[in-house]
């Protein structure tokens, strides 16, 4: 009796040349656990500063409503970080690319976004490695479906070499499991992990997330990190950073969408506050909050049909983002034992006066790689 053919292999043949919009997805987490986490986060303590109830980073993109809101925000020309990132990425990437052109790298994209940056990377890398795999990882299956369309259709990357993985990569155990699966998939081939679009800045503890990612890097792997940057650290600049996000209505629709789709709270954008502050004297932090600024308490129904009372002044943190100084980036990478291999930085140029804000693209190697780049690192951090 013949051995049965593995279903994945049969599926590859079954989907070949099929025009229907099938997409494969490897689900790594029980989605009921994620809904319970979101519900628990929205039951947090009363706070007037956004430090009680909250929607943590991955949930901002979780579900079809937030995914559509995100797609709309990325097309808003007033969303400057996104606009500048899209415009500068190709130029920055071309300076980083020589370090990962050879050696047979595969690509693991953490937080797939619109897929436009992945399309650029894949187009270049596949010229030197026709057998490479593309593994986009995101907590939102809807984001994965939307984000992988661009590389597959735009760059004609073979569907048979794409493996979307639904997983919350901010959880250390999840990253350990992902790393084990990747090692079985690619063996000792090097992997380029990417965390672009200032995603690092959206997490409550950026150092904890970076440490979680670094923990799974092998000596031959690299991490491509894109962050928003600032050359000034004062309250006036922090207020300007908050205003930058406040001026786009599409962004406000995006940051409120998770609350809109998971609760019965009536959203009034006038109750959404954009607050900038200097964090740890080496970064600008922008907290975006919904606040009950009415004269009465408000009741909000949660996904499990229980109610939470929102007293006068209570807040729900909707989103967190940052702009990094060179000092903060140096502190983070040193704490996580990462060595910069290359760093490209550019400033925003849409105003007549010098602007403190910009974007930075870093290619990082784990210290275990033995990169003889300490003198280069000194040069990078001295700029």
pLDDT computed for residue 382 by the predictor: 66
pLDDT computed for residue 325 by the predictor: 96
Dihedral (CA of 301, 307, 311, 313) sign? negative
Q: Does the pLDDT at position 372 exceed 60?
A: no
pLDDT computed for residue 247 by the predictor: 86
H-state helical runs in the chain: 7-15, 31-41, 64-74, 80-96, 116-125, 141-149, 172-186, 206-215, 235-246, 249-262, 326-335, 374-382
pLDDT computed for residue 376 by the predictor: 59
Distance between CA atoms of residues 293 and 168, nearest Å: 33
For 58, 108, 177, 255, the CA distances from 252, given in Å and listed in that order, are 17, 29, 35, 5
Give residue-wise pLDDT tens across range 76-117: 888 888 888 788 899 999 999 999 988 899 999 999 888 999
Mean pLDDT for 141-170 is 90
Question: Tokens representing 48?
Answer: 């007037």
Q: Which residues of 331-359 are buried (b: 16+ CB within 10 A; e: fewer)?
A: bbbeebebbbbbbbbeebeeeeeebbbbb
Distance between CA atoms of residues 112 and 195, nearest Å: 9
The angle that helices 172-186 and 206-215 make with each other, rounded to 10 degrees, is: 30
Distance between CA atoms of residues 325 and 120, nearest Å: 27
User: What share of the chain in percent tops pLDDT 90?
Assistant: 70
Question: Tokens representing 264?
Answer: 């019965």
Give residue-wise pLDDT tens across range 14-32: 877 677 778 888 998 888 9
Torsion of CA 30, 32, 37, 43, to 10 degrees: 180
Q: Does the pLDDT at position 8 exceed 90?
A: no
Distance between CA atoms of residues 206 and 68, nearest Å: 26
Contact 358, 324 (CB under 8 A): no
pLDDT computed for residue 371 by the predictor: 62
- If DSSP states are collapsed to H, E and C, what string results for 11-69? HHHHHCCCCCCCCCCEECCCHHHHHHHHHHHCCCCCCCCCCCEECCHHHHHCCHHHHHH
Residue 319 neighbours by CB distance under 10 Å? 24
Contact 324, 59 (CB under 8 A): no
pTM of the predicted structure, to 2 decimals: 0.91
Mean pLDDT for 337-363 is 86
For 15-29, 65-79, 247-261, 296-310, which range has the lowest pLDDT when averaged over its residues? 15-29
pLDDT computed for residue 380 by the predictor: 65
Mean pLDDT of the chain: 90
Question: Tokens representing 224?
Answer: 């491509």
User: Residue 94 phi/psi, 5° resolution?
Assistant: -60, -25
Provide CB contacts within 8 A for 202, sequence distance 6+.
57, 60, 319, 320, 321
Contact 313, 294 (CB under 8 A): no
Most distant CA pair in the chain, distance: 77
Distance between CA atoms of residues 117 and 29, nearest Å: 26
Distance between CA atoms of residues 89 and 260, nearest Å: 32
């Amino acid at each position: 009796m013949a051995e049965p053919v593995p279903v994945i292999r049969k599926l590859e043949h079954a989907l070949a040349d099929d025009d229907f919009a099938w997409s494969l997805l490897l689900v790594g987490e029980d989605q009921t656990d994620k809904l319970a986490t979101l519900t628990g986060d929205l039951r947090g303590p009363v706070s007037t500063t956004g430090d009680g109830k909250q929607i943590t980073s991955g949930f901002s993109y979780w579900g079809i409503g937030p995914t559509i809101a995100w797609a709309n925000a990325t097309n808003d020309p007033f969303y400057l970080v996104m606009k500048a990132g899209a415009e500068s990425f190709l130029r920055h990437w071309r300076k980083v690319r020589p370090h990962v052109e050879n050696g047979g790298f595969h690509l693991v994209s953490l937080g797939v976004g619109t897929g436009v940056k992945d399309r650029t990377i894949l187009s270049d890398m596949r010229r030197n490695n026709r057998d490479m795999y593309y593994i986009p990882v995101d907590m939102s299956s809807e984001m994965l479906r939307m984000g992988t369309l661009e590389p597959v259709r735009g760059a004609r990357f073979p569907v048979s070499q794409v493996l979307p993985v639904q997983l919350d990569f901010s959880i250390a155990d999840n990253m350990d499991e992902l790393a084990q699966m990747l090692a079985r998939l690619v063996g000792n081939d090097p992997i380029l992990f990417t965390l672009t679009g200032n995603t690092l800045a959206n997490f409550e503890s950026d150092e904890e997330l970076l440490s979680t990612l670094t923990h799974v890097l092998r000596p031959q792997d690299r991490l491509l990190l894109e962050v928003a940057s600032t050359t000034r650290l004062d309250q006036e600049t922090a207020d300007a950073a908050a205003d930058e996000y406040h001026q786009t209505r599409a962004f406000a629709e995006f940051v409120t969408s998770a609350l809109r789709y998971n609760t019965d709270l009536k959203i009034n954008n006038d109750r959404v506050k954009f607050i900038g502050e200097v964090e740890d004297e080496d970064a600008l932090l922008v907290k975006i909050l919904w606040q009950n600024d009415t004269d009465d308490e408000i009741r909000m129904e949660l996904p499990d049909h229980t109610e939470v009372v929102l007293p006068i002044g209570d807040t729900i943190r909707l989103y967190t983002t940052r702009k990094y100084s060179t000092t903060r980036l140096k502190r983070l990478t040193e704490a996580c034992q990462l060595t910069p291999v290359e760093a490209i930085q550019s400033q925003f140029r849409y105003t007549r006066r010098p602007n403190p804000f910009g974007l930075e693209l870093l290619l990082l190697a784990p210290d275990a790689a033995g990169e003889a780049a300490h003198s280069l690192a000194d040069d990078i951090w001295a700029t």
